[in-house]
């Protein structure tokens, strides 16, 4: 029984302690210091990919993916790069070929 009285009193004290008096000090927020970008961050440059995927070739030529794969498997007009089962096409050679067509 004495435990329940202690709980009631502590709960009452806690509620009163949480009340904030108007004259109580408040915390002021300061702005975070400005951070200069590091040398490595400012020197990092994103490079555009140097190759097209076959799906991108299909979109550029407005043909099906299958037709683009067939073109990549048979052409000598632009450079096709095979990496395992992946096929990539040199952007420079494809763009040159496409501009000449």
CA distances from 58 to 13, 46, 68, 93 (A): 74, 25, 5, 16
Distance CA 88, CA 57 (A): 10
Residues 9-45: tens digit of each pLDDT: 555 555 555 555 556 556 566 666 666 666 555 677 8
Say what the pLDDT of residue 43 is. 72
Alpha-carbon span 52 to 46, nearest angstrom: 17
Tokens of 9: 């009193």
User: What are 73-95's pLDDT values in tens digits?
Assistant: 999 999 999 999 999 999 999 99
On whether the pTM is more than 0.85, the answer is no
β-pair partners for 53? 88
Tokens representing 51 are 């190759």
Alpha helices in the chain (DSSP H): 2-18, 39-43, 54-61, 65-74, 91-100
Tokens of 29: 């927020």
């Amino acid at each position: 029984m004495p435990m329940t009285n202690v709980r009631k009193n502590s709960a009452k004290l806690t509620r009163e302690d949480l009340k904030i008096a108007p004259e109580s000090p408040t915390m002021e927020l300061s702005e975070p210091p400005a951070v200069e970008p590091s040398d490595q961050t400012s020197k990092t440059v994103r490079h555009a990919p140097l190759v097209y995927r076959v799906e991108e070739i299909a979109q550029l030529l407005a043909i099906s993916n299958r037709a683009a794969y067939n073109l990549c498997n048979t052409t000598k007009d632009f450079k096709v790069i095979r990496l395992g089962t992946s096929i990539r096409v040199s952007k420079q050679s494809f763009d040159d070929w496409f501009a000449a067509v």
